[in-house]
């Protein structure tokens, strides 16, 4: 039912027909210009349907009090495992309802809140994510978490024991989150894939992140490219990789030095893949130790 331009009146018969449908396992209502006032209809339908496991509500305008219906829906439903709320114009004012959804839904495994306008609700979302026992994949990319809010979000995620994939790309984490990212990597023992690309991370973030990687035994893939990191920061990160268990580090569009390439060549290519930007062959950052003269 994607891109049908459905209105609230259209949703009533649709939800009624789906309530007792036993063959549909997914529902795609994306790009229909739906408003939050249709959510109670979807909630009522899901109260009776025990077969739909995935709902895509992306690219609708769902900001507003109707989001509370999602909390009620998930508290009574045990089959829904995937919910897509990306591109739904969600605001910080919607965060309490979103937090309730995360807190109440023990069976929800995948949640996308990407491409919204969430910014200053890091503490609230981080608080419920710390104790979440259901979610395994969370997409918060293309929001504007930054500074204090970003650190509070990362603090909660650090304590999570279930999340496997975390997407934070295209936020504004910035250099102030160096310690928070280090601690996330040091203390979280669940996340397997982490994307922090396009986040204004700087050279100051690279050494702490490298330290975090050396203490982490579960992370397999790290996307950290497209950040304003210089060859100096890239070198600080790769120096930590021999002691890390990660098998993919993506530094796309980050320039590296010839020293970086030498260290990369010493890594076992069967154990780890390192992707990076252009190589500045004229840049030497590691000064060779001069040989002592005999006599």
pLDDT of residue 5: 55
Name the pTM for this structure: 0.93
Domains in the chain, CATH or no CATH each: 8-280 (3.80.10.10)
CB 20 within 8 A of CB 49: yes
pLDDT of residue 68: 92
Residue keyed to tokens 């690279």: 206
- The span from the first CA to the last CA of the chain, in angstroms, equals 85
Give the three-class secondary structure for 138.
Answer: strand
Query: Alpha-carbon torsion 224, 82, 106, 76, what sign?
Result: positive
For the chain (295 residues), the mean pLDDT of every run of 10, in chain order, is: 55 84 92 91 90 96 93 88 97 97 92 98 97 95 96 96 97 94 96 98 96 97 98 97 97 97 96 97 70 56
Where does the chain show beta strands of DSSP type E? 26-28, 54-56, 82-84, 110-112, 137-139, 165-167, 193-195, 221-223, 248-251, 256-257, 273-276, 279-280
CB 86 within 8 A of CB 117: no
Give the three-class secondary structure for 250.
Answer: strand
pLDDT of residue 246: 97
- Measured between alpha carbons, how far is 250 from 254 in angstroms, rounded to an integer? 9
From residue 224, alpha-carbon distances to 227, 251, 253 in Å are 7, 5, 10
Containing 214, the helix (H) or strand (E) segment is helix 203-214
pLDDT of residue 288: 59
- Measured between alpha carbons, how far is 126 from 144 in angstroms, rounded to an integer? 15
């Amino acid at each position: 039912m994607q891109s049908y331009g459905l209105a609230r009146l259209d949703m009533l018969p649709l939800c009624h027909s789906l309530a007792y449908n036993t063959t549909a396992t997914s529902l795609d209502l994306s790009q229909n210009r739906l408003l939050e006032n249709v959510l109670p209809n979807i909630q009522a339908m899901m109260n009776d349907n025990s077969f739909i496991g995935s709902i895509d509500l992306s690219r609708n305008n769902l900001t507003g009090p109707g989001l509370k219906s999602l909390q009620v829906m998930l508290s009574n439903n045990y089959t829904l495992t995937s919910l897509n709320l990306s591109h739904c114009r969600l605001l910080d004012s919607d965060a309490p309802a979103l937090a309730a959804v995360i807190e109440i839904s023990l069976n929800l495994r995948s949640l996308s809140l990407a491409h919204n306008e969430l910014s200053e609700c890091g503490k609230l979302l981080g608080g419920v994510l710390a104790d979440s026992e259901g979610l395994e994949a969370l997409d918060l990319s293309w929001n504007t978490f930054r500074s204090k809010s970003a650190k509070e979000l990362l603090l909660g995620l650090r304590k999570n024991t279930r999340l496997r994939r975390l997407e934070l790309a295209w936020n504004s984490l910035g250099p102030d989150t160096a310690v928070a990212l280090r601690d996330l990597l040091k203390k979280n023992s669940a996340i397997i894939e982490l994307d922090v690309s396009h986040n204004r991370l700087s050279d100051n973030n690279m050494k702490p992140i490298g330290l975090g990687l050396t203490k982490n035994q579960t992370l397999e893939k790290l996307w950290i490219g497209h950040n304003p990191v210089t060859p100096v920061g890239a070198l600080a990160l790769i120096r930590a990789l021999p002691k890390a268990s990660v098998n993919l580090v993506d530094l796309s569009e980050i320039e590296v030095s010839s020293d970086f390439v030498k260290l990369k060549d010493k890594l076992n290519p069967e154990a780890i893949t390192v992707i990076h930007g252009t190589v500045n062959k004229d840049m030497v950052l590691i000064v060779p130790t001069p040989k002592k003269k005999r006599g």
